[in-house]
Amino acid sequence: MTSAKKRIVIVGGGLVGSMLAVMLGRSGHAVSVFEKRPDMRRTEISAGRSINLALAERGIQGLKAAELFDDVEPLLIPMRGRMLHPLNAQLEFSPYGQRPHEVIYSVSRGELNKTMLTEAEKTQNVSITFNQECTAIDLVHRHTDFFCHNTGGRTREEYDILLGTDGANSVVRDAVVKSVGGTWRTDWLNHDYKELTIPAGRNGCYQMERNALHIWPRHGYMLIALPNLGGSFTVTLFLMKTGDPSFERLPDGERLQAFFREQFPDALDLIPELNDDFFTNPTGVLGTVRCSRWTNGHDALLLGDSAHAIVPFHGQGMNAGFEDCRVLLELLRANDWNWPTTMLAFEATRVANADAIADMALENYVIMRDTVLDQRFHLKKLLGFDLEQRFPDRFIPRYSMVMFHNIPYDSVKQRGVIQEEIMEQLIGEDKDLTKVNYALAERLIWERLPPVTVS
Ligand SMILES: Cc1cc2nc3c(=O)[nH]c(=O)nc-3n(C[C@H](O)[C@H](O)[C@H](O)COP(=O)(O)OP(=O)(O)OC[C@H]3O[C@@H](n4cnc5c(N)ncnc54)[C@H](O)[C@@H]3O)c2cc1C
């Protein structure tokens, strides 16, 4: 229980807003969530963006802190590594980690969100009102205005604490940043995405390896697929907006079929509704939100994509948002539920971390679509695993630090740069690892990498 109960308004009942509602409702606060869209538990609506997501350690720790993990676990499909689909070559499986628990999980965005909304309501401290779009915020008089998409009516809501979890196009962000003279911007990527489906085979069987994240890397663009419960895969094509090849160059079914036949022949065989999917589903845009201030230092705070939307190539946007929730809860408890102190402490650590994962997510696009095909990438991956076994407290491959640990992202980024330099020095011009000088490795690692302090 908390020392002083507050009226908390959460704008946005997506993944992060619904997790926050569970945490705060369970802590005894009166929480009102306002969500623009209809109730996804009662209306058949598109999940919005990606249909399924990769959940990793940071997200799992958030779910555990909210006491939600047991409810979510049945929805999870382990993915143990990348299944690469090179053009005109054998499939190649590359494990993500080297320990049995080092896997990531595919989870349905819709089912995850629905589960958290229901668990929030079960706390009996949380009310969720759907079809309510926040249109204006008055941070001075502490109220928010909503437009109801059902009735066309407008309402005003007063709050003690305002939490903005209204996603990449946040309205709360505008108000908060303006109030403290901060800045924000969206850096749009030159690549868009399109979701397609590989349906389940006969009797609900998976038509490709179930426990893997499939990638068709094609230098400059790629196709990926994540498994769903029930045997299907959600496939996403990431491709440039313009140029060759690009979405612009795929204006009709004929050219689309020819492109897939040439570049993704094995996938084409498994996507019977390619033309329908492609020309019916929206083309999604991708961008990075960089926002200098997340709080007014009193009673309003941004979390999740409203503060730090990132490109999806490290599968970390939701994970980072869930980590926000866990860190906020820990700080609130440590500060005896003093909100201003907590909000400022939260901002002080999280902004740099968000910037770091934003950068690493952009880098990972190049790794996924290009670098995974390089021999040197494989050498470094093997060496990274080897060094991790020899020096587990100091050397952890960067992908593992992001996906299987809770080491702050900015520290991961800095350590990653040093590790890369060490591995480059150890491999030199060699084509294999037979000549690696482990005495030098030990010296460099002890000199340059302090022990990892957070697991
Ligand atoms: C193609 C793609 C793939 C992705 N894959 C992964 C992945 O594998 N792993 C991962 O961790 N992350 C992934 N992400 C990122 C992830 O989707 C986001 O980081 C996550 O959804 C952020 O959650 P959120 O609650 O902050 O924002 P959102 O999920 O965007 O939720 C915001 C909510 O606020 C509501 N809202 C918006 N405006 C208003 C308003 N004015 N008033 C009231 N309500 C409002 C919206 O309707 C929505 O429900 C992916 C993203 C994309 C685009």
Shortest-distance atom of ligand 1 to CA 54: 8
377-387 average pLDDT score: 96
Select the more confidently predicted residue: 372 or 41: 41
User: Residue 298: what pLDDT?
Assistant: 97
Instruction: Tell me the pairing of strands 233-240 and 184-198.
Output: antiparallel
358 lines ligand 1 (CB under 6 A): no
Tokens of 69: 């993990």
Shortest-distance atom of ligand 1 to CA 306: 26
Distance 168 CA to ligand 1 centre (A): 7
Where residue 371 falls among pLDDT bands split at 50, 70, 90?
confident
**pLDDT tens, residue by residue, 335-352:** 999 999 999 999 999 999
Ramachandran region, residue 131 (left: φ > 0; alpha: ψ -120 to 50; beta: rest): left
Phi, psi for residue 61 in degrees, rounded to 5: -65, -35
11 lines ligand 1 (CB under 6 A): yes
Distance 15 CA to ligand 1 centre (A): 7
Least confident of 62-66, 251-255, 397-401, 430-434: 430-434
For residues 54 and 104, the answer to whether their CB atoms sit within 8 Å is yes
Statement: residue 131 has pLDDT above 50: yes
Statement: residue 302 has pLDDT above 80: yes
47-62 average pLDDT score: 87
User: Residue 231: what pLDDT?
Assistant: 97
Tokens of 318: 């939701």
Shortest-distance atom of ligand 1 to CA 56: 11
Tokens of 29: 């606060």
Distance 268 CA to ligand 1 centre (A): 29
Shortest-distance atom of ligand 1 to CA 304: 26
User: Residue 372: what pLDDT?
Assistant: 80
User: Residue 43: what pLDDT?
Assistant: 87
Residue 52 CB-density burial (10 A; 0-12 exposed, 13-18 middle, 19+ buried): buried
175 lines ligand 1 (CB under 6 A): no
User: Residue 358: what pLDDT?
Assistant: 98
56 lines ligand 1 (CB under 6 A): no
Residues 6+ apart with CB under 8 A from 362: 288, 311, 313
For residues 11 and 164, the answer to whether their CB atoms sit within 8 Å is yes
Shortest-distance atom of ligand 1 to CA 226: 8
Instruction: Tell me the pairing of strands 213-217 and 184-198.
Output: unpaired
Where residue 6 falls among pLDDT bands split at 50, 70, 90?
confident
pTM: 0.97
Residue 453 CB-density burial (10 A; 0-12 exposed, 13-18 middle, 19+ buried): exposed
Residue nearest to atom 37 of ligand 1 (CA): 166
105 lines ligand 1 (CB under 6 A): no
Where residue 4 falls among pLDDT bands split at 50, 70, 90?
low
Distance 225 CA to ligand 1 centre (A): 19
Statement: residue 453 has pLDDT above 60: yes
User: Residue 373: what pLDDT?
Assistant: 81
User: Residue 48: what pLDDT?
Assistant: 46
**pLDDT tens, residue by residue, 63-115:** 999 999 999 999 999 999 999 999 999 999 999 999 999 999 999 999 999 99
User: What is the maximum alpha-carbon separation in the chain?
Assistant: 73
**Which of 166, 303, 362 is the best mutation target for the ligand 1 pocket, counting ligand atoms within 8 Å of the beta carbon and taking the most?**
166
User: Residue 47: what pLDDT?
Assistant: 46
Shortest-distance atom of ligand 1 to CA 133: 42
114 lines ligand 1 (CB under 6 A): no
Ramachandran region, residue 62 (left: φ > 0; alpha: ψ -120 to 50; beta: rest): alpha
Shortest-distance atom of ligand 1 to CA 15: 25
Q: Which of 307, 327, 283, 287 is nearest to 12 (CA)?
A: 307
Distance 97 CA to ligand 1 centre (A): 27
